[in-house]
Amino acid sequence: MSTQSPDDRSLSYVVVGAGAIGGTLGHHLARAGHHVTVVDTDSEHVRRIREDGIVVVRGANRTVANVAGAGTPDDGGPGTVERVLLAVKAQATGRALDWIAPRLAAEGFVVSLQNGLNEAAIADRVGRERTVGAFVNLFADVIGPGEIRDGGLGALVVGELDGSDSRRVREVVEDLQAWGPAKATANISGYLWSKLGFGAMLVATALADAPMAELIDRHRSVMHEDRIAGLSAAPR
At residue 184, the pLDDT reads 98
pLDDT on residue 6: 36
Instruction: Name which residue leads in pLDDT, 199 or 25.
Output: 25
Q: What is the pLDDT of residue 226?
A: 53
Is it the case that residue 69 has pLDDT exceeding 50?
Answer: yes
Dump pLDDT digits (tens) for 206-215.
Answer: 878 888 778 8
pLDDT value for 11: 46
Which of 73, 91, 89 lies closest to 37 in space, CA to CA?
A: 73
Evaluate whether 26 touches 55 at the Cβ level (below 8 Å): no
Residue 59 has pLDDT above 70, yes or no: yes
Our separate counts of H helices and E strands in the chain read 8, 15
More confident residue, 53 or 4: 53
* Backbone angle region of 230, left / alpha / beta, with phi > 0 → left and psi within -120 to 50 → alpha: left
Averaged pLDDT of the chain: 88
pLDDT of residue 220: 76
Task: Provide the 8-state DSSP code for 154.
Answer: -
Among candidate residues 222, 231, 227, the one with its CA nearest the CA of residue 200: 222
Per-residue confidence (pLDDT) for residue 224, from 0 to 100 = 65
What is the 8-class DSSP label of residue 224? -
Cβ proximity of 52 and 64 under 8 Å: yes
Q: Give the CA-trace dihedral at 60, 64, 65, 71, to 10 degrees.
A: 120
Please report which confidence band the pLDDT of residue 153 belongs to, taking 50, 70 and 90 as the band edges.
Answer: confident
Among the residue ranges 6-20, 54-68, 121-135, 188-202, the one predicted with the least confidence is 6-20
186-205 pLDDT, tens per residue? 999 999 988 888 787 777 77
Amino acid at 11: L
Residue 232 has a pLDDT of: 43
